[in-house]
Structure 1
Amino acid sequence: MGCTSSIPKRYPMGRKKKKHISIHEVAVFVPAVRVPVAVDLIRPLRGLVPRDLLDKLSALRGRIVLLTEENYLSSVPTVSELQRALEEYLRVLLGMLKPEHRLEASVEFKWKSLGDDGHETCLASAWYEVLSVVHMMAILSLLEANLMLVPKDSLDSCERKVSEDSKRVAIDLLLKASGCLEYCVHQILVHLPMQIRKSLPNDLQDGILESISSQALAQGVEMQLGLAIESEKATLSVKRRLACEEVSYFSEAHNWLSGCDTSDAYGKKLLLYIKWKYLEAKAAAYYYHGLIVDKGSEPSNHVSAVCCLFAADELLIASKRASLSFCLAAPVTRVPPTWGVMKHLHKKIPEVVSKKSQMYGYLFEQDKNEYETSDQP
């Protein structure tokens, strides 16, 4: 009587525990991961596919479903294991696309998004399954790159420390992600009938795929720029070229989204992310261009250089606001510390702007006086 141990566990006692909300930090934008949902492959394919091959296909897909259910998306080793499972499944799946296996349209493959909506898409197309697998490989590569660049031990510190090896691995992962997405667009989507393509979720529309691919390339270039900044051998011209490439890729990423539906949370978040990173890249491009122009001997070179540096400073300020807008947009993400390229530029740009504006201020006064003189009747 009165013994709390006699109360069944299904009746919670005392205060309810607050749900722990984890706010992640973003170095690489990762769209919502789409994962396979368990389906019966045996029954619809019995008699069409050799039993041993069918059992292997079913077992491999079942393993992927199991791994995604076990929260295998939180660390580099587990994501890598899931990648290997996807690659093994893909090899078998592609081998079964031969006409004699009659796999196309025989099975309804089901996938769901791990985003807030949890939307499921079920389509009777083996090429849809291939598309979903390769897309998942791309997104996991982005996720793995983000995990490499945001070490767990840096989440509680005000400074992000990333080794050179981690940066190089991240570059390879970003290139892999971009390659997978390009393969989706140019080698897989072309096999899908138009009615199937119209039924694809937004994540698998060609514009979104191209945009994420360009974003991955842009961030790979950003990593390369960071390595160039740390290298004594890299010239200003190399740094400017990399910064301009980054601007170009982020511009492409934005342009690809112009005809896409970005009304959902992840679509809006992606647009804000691209705007933020585009402003950062443009600030870097103006900064390095200004330094190069300043090497000229003509007064006009110095005036142009200072104008570029002022533009870089304004873009840097705008990028800070864009970063905050991105972080506050749902799903909310942690405000990242300045690191890599931007840590360097946040320090150097204000310093150089102040120094050069004082050094060449008299040239602006001369230009102003000449303009006022020429403007008089």
Structure 2
Amino acid sequence: MVSTPKDTGGNRRRPGNIGDVSVYVPGFRIPKPVDFFQSLGDHLTKNLVERLVALRTRIVVMAGQEAPTVTRTRRKTQHGGSTLADLQQALEDYLPVLLGLVKDGSQLQYKVQFVWVNQEDDAEETAMSNAWYEVLSVLHLMAMLSLSQANLLLLPRTSGDGYQPKVSEENRRASVDIFLRAAGYLDCAVRHVLPQLPAELRRNLPVDLAEGVLRALCLQALGQGVDIQLGMAIDSTKATLAVKRRLACEMVKYWQQAQDNIMNLPLANGWGEKHRLLVKWKYVEAKAAAYYYHGLILDEGNTEKYHGMAVAALQAADEYFKESRKACEAFNAALPLSRYPPLWGTMKYLSEKIPKDTSSKVRINRDLYSYERIMETAPTLPDFALALKPDEYQLPPVDPSWNEEKINGGQTGSNQLKGDRR
């Protein structure tokens, strides 16, 4: 059993640098050991307790050793599979057995004190005697692993032809699926797990499990998924300006909602403040894209009014783009330090097009119309319904080993629990 930071090889120390960031993961929640035999030995068969111990210990060891490093390097296990996939599988194996503790409102859910800590806040351990808290923490870690996997896929790789680093079409498409999967875990946590926790316990949850943070993370995943879709639309000769504008406007709404959920939370310095800076940066960046495409479509109009609105929209895009570069720098400078990978996709294209097209359109329209007739405030962006939804994730059925428990060892456990309630 891993019981001290020393036993994990010293990796539990807060990282000062998290490498290249395309997708920010605001700290892994890492489980610490618990004594299932002391808590459940009188209520369950030895085989079932041993299974819980083995499954959770596997997660404790893997998370303690790999989580602090997995976002910075593409580590491989001796079997050739990624550590992300191995840890994800360990969590999926554990969840059906864990859910036996809460089946049919069982009092066993209150017997074990589960302990977790955020890797970015070593001292902030949170222990709660409720198995639903353990389920919530497991789903959170599954979502964070998915976001880390997306980050690895979206880091530009140097191509064999010697050109600038780029992200393959295959990786971009795969990342969208991963974003939807991560959003599904978080949506399940908010809609189906949080309501199972008593109000007082929900108030005492660590801030990285607060409902607002979970919702913000879900919306972040969807917003970044749309960002990838917009990048693919830019590369497609078939995608119209209308399609690109719609995607950009949807992206604004996702990031605005993420900001609404996270802005008033008491996030401390460290991972929380860095997460807030990410949401601010991506929200401003999305507005730059949306106003750019809105301006191009308005400029297709045949009247002075439309051309004036187009100039105002393009000027707004240029200002938001400049602001987004400053927000990006602030995010990367916040601890733990990070590096933004080389520009690619949406922002590489827009970093070249926004300043150029804004300057050109402003000059042309000011030559055609008097300066006073050009709008000084940006027009309102169109409001589109959000198309991207989280994958529907449902908690797995309880592991069949609990049915055997009911037959072989349930009587003893049942009598004991009745005594406890008295």
In the alignment, is the contact (CA less than 8 A) between 1:49 and 1:101 conserved in 2? no
- Number of equivalent positions: 348
User: For the residues of structure 1 that align with 2:365 and 2:105, how far apart are their CA atoms?
Assistant: 76
- Which structure 2 residues correspond to residues 241-320 of structure 1 after superposition, within 5 A? 241-320=246-325
1:284-319 per-position Cα deviation (integer Å, ceiling 9, x unaligned): 000101111111111221121121111111111111
- Report SS of the residue matched to 2:268: coil
Relative to structure 1, is the Cα distance of residues 100 and 22 closer, same or farther in structure 2, using a 3 angstrom cutoff? closer
In the alignment, is the contact (CA less than 8 A) between 1:48 and 1:101 conserved in 2? no
- Report SS of the residue matched to 1:70: helix
Aligned equivalent of 1:32? 27
Aligned equivalent of 1:3? none
Query: How far did residue 336 of structure 1 move?
Result: 3.2
Aligned equivalent of 2:64? 69
Deviates more, 1:308-317 or 1:190-199: 190-199
User: For the residues of structure 2 that align with 1:316 and 1:158, how far apart are their CA atoms?
Assistant: 26
Aligned equivalent of 1:8? none
In the alignment, is the contact (CA less than 8 A) between 2:190 and 2:211 conserved in 1? yes
Larger Rg: 1
Match of 1:183 among 185, 188, 198: 188
User: For the residues of structure 2 that align with 1:100 and 1:271, how far apart are their CA atoms?
Assistant: 37
Aligned equivalent of 1:14? none
- Report SS of the residue matched to 1:36: strand
TM-score normalised to structure 1 length: 0.87
In the alignment, is the contact (CA less than 8 A) between 2:156 and 2:342 conserved in 1? no
Aligned equivalent of 1:206? 211
Partner letter of residue 342 of structure 1? Answer: M
User: For the residues of structure 2 that align with 1:96 and 1:366, how far apart are their CA atoms?
Assistant: 70
Relative to structure 1, is the Cα distance of residues 158 and 68 closer, same or farther in structure 2, using a 3 angstrom cutoff? farther
User: For the residues of structure 2 that align with 1:160 and 1:283, how far apart are their CA atoms?
Assistant: 24
- Which structure 2 residues correspond to residues 112-261 of structure 1 after superposition, within 5 A? 112-150=117-155, 159-261=164-266
1:70-95 per-position Cα deviation (integer Å, ceiling 9, x unaligned): 32524371101100110110121123
Query: How far did residue 192 of structure 1 move?
Result: 0.9
Aligned equivalent of 2:47? 52
TM-score normalised to structure 2 length: 0.78
In the alignment, is the contact (CA less than 8 A) between 2:154 and 2:171 conserved in 1? yes
Relative to structure 1, is the Cα distance of residues 308 and 164 closer, same or farther in structure 2, using a 3 angstrom cutoff? same
- Report SS of the residue matched to 2:117: strand
- Report SS of the residue matched to 2:127: strand
In the alignment, is the contact (CA less than 8 A) between 1:142 and 1:173 conserved in 2? yes
Is 1:86 matched with 2:91? Answer: yes
Relative to structure 1, is the Cα distance of residues 214 and 368 closer, same or farther in structure 2, using a 3 angstrom cutoff? closer
Aligned equivalent of 2:411? none
- Report SS of the residue matched to 1:233: coil
Higher relative contact order (CA 8 A, sep 6+): 2
Query: How far did residue 367 of structure 1 move?
Result: 4.4
- Which structure 2 residues correspond to residues 327-346 of structure 1 after superposition, within 5 A? 327-346=332-351
User: For the residues of structure 2 that align with 1:241 and 1:212, how far apart are their CA atoms?
Assistant: 22
Moved over 3 A (4+): 20-23, 99-102, 151-154, 157-160, 366-369
Query: How far did residue 21 of structure 1 move?
Result: 6.3
Aligned equivalent of 1:353? 358
1:207-229 per-position Cα deviation (integer Å, ceiling 9, x unaligned): 11111111111111101111111
User: For the residues of structure 2 that align with 1:323 and 1:22, how far apart are their CA atoms?
Assistant: 16
In the alignment, is the contact (CA less than 8 A) between 2:132 and 2:197 conserved in 1? yes
In the alignment, is the contact (CA less than 8 A) between 2:16 and 2:335 conserved in 1? no
Aligned equivalent of 2:383? none
